[in-house]
Each structure stands twice: as structure tokens, then as C-alpha cells.
């Protein structure tokens, strides 16, 4: 799923999952100092759908593990994923089913929002 960043891109998409409700992405920021904190280099983001994606919300990373699939725990919920799909259980109990998406197939409006988010941060 990981693809090299475009020559001018300040980030690389490591994982991408999409659904009607929105998208979950893990990005790696490019060009940061070698001693930059991992929490700055790697970030999981939620982009809610609706009338077109409007805002990038950083997920607050808590932990990661691997069971029968990859597991990422955030303050907002838990993401379990494999190569084809993912399930995000929100802290409210709501479950979202997402499909894996190649980095170069992320919807252009989502990619544009992420690019603006990274540039503004």
C-alpha cells in the first residue's frame, strides 16, 4: 500500500482506508529533522465525508499491536486492519467498515485536504 511520495510532496501516505463516512490515513512527513519526534513524523488522520470532505482531524495515537491483523488504538477508537479492509470502532461504540485504498488512489479532494493540513502545520 505504501508508495513513494511525489517529488514535491511533503508527506507520504503509508496506509489509506475509505468508506462512505470518510477516510482514515497514516502519513509520514517528509523532510523533518532526523531527531523529530515519531509523533510528528507519523500521523493518523480522519477525514469525514458528507458534502465533500471538509476537515482533517488528527487521531490521538495511544498504541499499536499485531494480532491476527494490525491494531492501532487511538483516544477516539480502535482501528483493526489487514491488506484489504479495516474496521474502526469509535469510542462511542459505532463501528465503521472501510476498504483499503492504494495511496495513489486516494480521492483527490481528500489528498488536497491532507496537503493543506500538512502545509499549515
In a domain, 27, yes or no: yes
In a domain, 19, yes or no: yes
As a residue count, the chain comes to 121
Beta strands 95-100 and 85-90, pairing class: antiparallel
In a domain, 40, yes or no: yes
- Residue 26 dihedral angles phi and psi, to the nearest 5°: -110, 130
Residue of 67 and 60 predicted with greater confidence: 60
DSSP 3-state assignment of 41?
helix
In a domain, 5, yes or no: no
In a domain, 3, yes or no: no
Give the residue numbers spanning the domain of 97.
Answer: 11-120
114/46 Cα distance (integer angstroms): 10
Cell of 56: 482533517
Average pLDDT for 77-92: 95
In a domain, 35, yes or no: yes
pTM of the model: 0.86
- Residue 100 dihedral angles phi and psi, to the nearest 5°: -65, 145
pLDDT at 51: 65
Which segments within the chain are labelled E, that is strand?
11-19, 22-29, 42-48, 56-58, 61-66, 70-74, 77-81, 85-90, 95-100
How many domains would you assign to the chain?
1
In a domain, 113, yes or no: yes
Which stretches within 14-84 are classed as H helix? 38-41
Taking 70 as the threshold, does the pLDDT of residue 34 lie above it?
yes
In a domain, 29, yes or no: yes
Amino acid at each position: 500500500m505504501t508508495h513513494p511520495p511525489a517529488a514535491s510532496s511533503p508527506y507520504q501516505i503509508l496506509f489509506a482506508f475509505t468508506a462512505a463516512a470518510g477516510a482514515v490515513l497514516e502519513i509520514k512527513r517528509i523532510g523533518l529533522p532526523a531527531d523529530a519526534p515519531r509523533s510528528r513524523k507519523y500521523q493518523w488522520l480522519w477525514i469525514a465525508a458528507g458534502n465533500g470532505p471538509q476537515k482533517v482531524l488528527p487521531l490521538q495515537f495511544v498504541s499499536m499491536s499485531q494480532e491476527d491483523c494490525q491494531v492501532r488504538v487511538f483516544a477516539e477508537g480502535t482501528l483493526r486492519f489487514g491488506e484489504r479492509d479495516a474496521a474502526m470502532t469509535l469510542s462511542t461504540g459505532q463501528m465503521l467498515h472501510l476498504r483499503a485504498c492504494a495511496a495513489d488512489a486516494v480521492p483527490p479532494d481528500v489528498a488536497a485536504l491532507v496537503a493543506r493540513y500538512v502545509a499549515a502545520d
